[in-house]
A and B are shown apart, each in its own frame.
Chain A
Amino acid sequence: MSFLPPPTLPKSRHVSPVIPVPPVTNATSFTFRTTTWQADGFGFDATSGEFFTASPTALVVMQCLAAKMTTAQILDRLTSTFDVPRRSAERDLESFLAELEGMGLGKS
């Protein structure tokens, strides 16, 4: 059995949104690359049969990537959704994007 490590954004803390931010889409699930993600953070890749879990922050990043947002836009969304300084979010985002790239899930 193989479970790839769940994509996470280390050092980020999930808190109640300070400023209400509208979701990228109204759908309860979205597809990023070949993986369909549910709002609860469970992802299933129908082509490989693998499944993953993602933290709330990772889920937001992938939702943004699926919506073709730029890195700056993703940072805006992260800092408005979570209680995290922009510099720290920037560092975490960079590391997460590299992790996605390594898994073959980077920006297309």
Chain B
Amino acid sequence: MNSSPTIAVTGLHRGENPQPGSAVIRSLRRVYPELRIIGLCYDTLESGLYSEEDAPDAAFTLPYPSAGLEAFWDRLDAIREVERFDVLIPCLDAEMAPLVESPEKLRERGISACLPSWKAFEARDKSKLPDLCERTHCRTPQTVAVNDVSSMHQAAAGFGGSVFVKGRYYEAQLASTPAARESAYWHMLETWGAPVLVQERIEGEEYNVIGIGDGRGHILGSCAIRKMLRTSNGKGFGGMVVRDPQLDAVAQSLIAELRWNGPFELEFVKPDGPKAEYCLIEINPRFPAWCDFPSTLNCNLPAAAVELALGWQPREPLRHATPGKFFIRHAIDMTGDIRDLAALTTTGQLIRASEEPRAKGIEPQTTCSLKS
């Protein structure tokens, strides 16, 4: 390992469907401002590459998952010839499966990562949530995996017609008519592959819980929010911290059952009514795009993930965020330079010459110097 570790982060685009990578970088720099961070991107226009505040120190392009696993590992090896990074924080759903399936490939390269076991990863798959929820006595909407249009219409009819059509890894569309369902089906199939999921629609408030599991059934730290603002495709654009013992208990029971290791996000809907129970919609096996918000409230989960991956003692206990604190996402325009874009496009890498720390403008927590 390097005397001071280098961290690699993916998922750097913060467009209308923001990815988590830049928020992870921002959180890490709050406590480790000197940390060297490299960005691994699939597209040279990922917005986080050009940010003044949370851009990585260097960036490298990765082949799209469709290029295959061999191309992925070859490229990772080539990148490590230039930047021998020590920790990988994958932030995109589609890249999780190959990493979780073959953690030894990371280990043999000397790369640390906080990843769940394959068994846990599989058990939280959207198509297997009903089994998991039965074991943990947690409610979940009825979900059916389908591989053809006719089965989709049949499943939707059983759920009253108005359903969510969901991609295997990502994305969901509310579809109430046969035409809308069919259009959503083909879109999900083309984008995310088979099967496509048809999920019963449950109306209510949406709650998300972000946290880190220790792999032995405990949650090292977590923060729960109610989504206050949503984009047209249902992504949270604002959230309010809540503290509900019932929600904490449901989250604890799911993570204990899975013996989850590493970052997670649990998504729930709570129907209206005084006796309503939280209903699990999905479990994301990574940090969500809002993961820097709890870091501003002394619950820095990305920093804890790095400490866990490296086997460091945690800096300090992760605190519960105070209910009533909220975030609202704010889109801004950033200025890029054609030379950076050219470097990434032609050579697949961009290494910033600047000596100045890249933590400008980020409100620090108690900062730590890097350990060797």
Known A-B contacts A1-B228, A1-B229; the reply to A46 vs B274 at CB < 8 A is no
Interface hub of A46, A50, A104 (most chain B Cβ within 10 A): A46
Contact of B324 among A1, A2, A46, A105 (CB under 8 A): A46
- CB distance B242 to A46 under 8 Å? yes
Assess the A104–B230 pair: CB atoms within 8 A: no
**Once the chains bind, are A47 and B242 in contact (CB under 8 Å)?**
yes
Cβ-based interface call for B323 (8 A): yes
| A1 close to B240 (CB less than 8 A) | no
Among residues of A, the one whose C-beta sits closest to the C-beta of B246 is A47
B48 CB to nearest chain A CB (Å): 27
Interface string of B217-246 (1 = CB under 8 A from A): 000000001101110000000111111111
Measured CA separation A47–B225 after assembly (Å): 10
Question: By the criterion of a CB under 8 Å from any partner CB, how many residues of chain A are at the interface?
Answer: 12
Kindly state whether residue B311 has any CB partner on chain A within 8 Å: no
Is there a chain A Cβ closer than 8 Å to B74's Cβ? no
When distances are taken between beta carbons in the complex, the residues of chain B under 8 Å from A49 are 205, 207, 225-226, 228, 239-242, 323
Partner of B244, one of A1, A44, A47: A47
Residue on A nearest B225 in the bound complex, by CB: A49
Given contacts A2-B205, A104-B273, A104-B274, contact A48 B226 (CB under 8 A): yes
Tell whether, in the assembled complex, residue A50 and residue B324 are in contact, meaning their CB atoms are under 8 Å apart.
Answer: no
- Count A-B pairs with CB separation below 8 Å: 42
Chain A nearest CB from B321 CB (Å) reads 11
**A1 contacts across to B, CB distance below 8 A:** 228-230, 238
CA distance A2 to B230 in the complex (A): 11
Distance between Cα atoms of A2 and B205 in the complex (Å): 8
Chain B nearest Cβ from A36, distance in angstroms: 9
Majority secondary structure, B binding face: strand
Interface class of chain A by DSSP: loop
Q: Which of B205, B225, B243, B246 is close to A50, meaning CB atoms less than 8 Å apart?
A: B205
The complex places the Cα of A46 from the Cα of B242 at a distance, in Å, of 5
Give the shortest distance, in Å, between A83 (CB) and chain B (any CB). Answer: 34
A2-B205, A104-B274 known; A48+B242 contact, CB < 8 A: yes
- Closest A residue, CB atoms, query B274: A104
Q: Is the CB of A46 within 8 A of B323?
A: yes
A69 to B89, CA, bound (A): 56
How far is B225's CA from A44's CA once the two chains are assembled, in angstroms?
14
A106 and chain B: residue at smallest CB distance = B274
| Chain A residues whose CB sits within 8 angstroms of the CB of B228 once the complex forms | 1, 49
Chain B window 247-287, contacts with chain A (Cβ cutoff 8 Å), 1 for yes, 0 for no: 10000000000000000000000100111000000000000
Q: How far is the CB of A31 from chain B (nearest CB, A)?
A: 13
A13-64 contacts to B, CB under 8 A, are: 44, 46-51
Interface residues of B (CB under 8 A from A): 205, 207, 225-226, 228-230, 238-247, 270, 273-275, 323-324
Residue contacts A-B, CB under 8 angstroms, 12 given = A1-B228, A2-B205, A46-B243, A46-B323, A46-B324, A47-B243, A48-B226, A49-B225, A49-B241, A49-B323, A104-B274, A105-B274
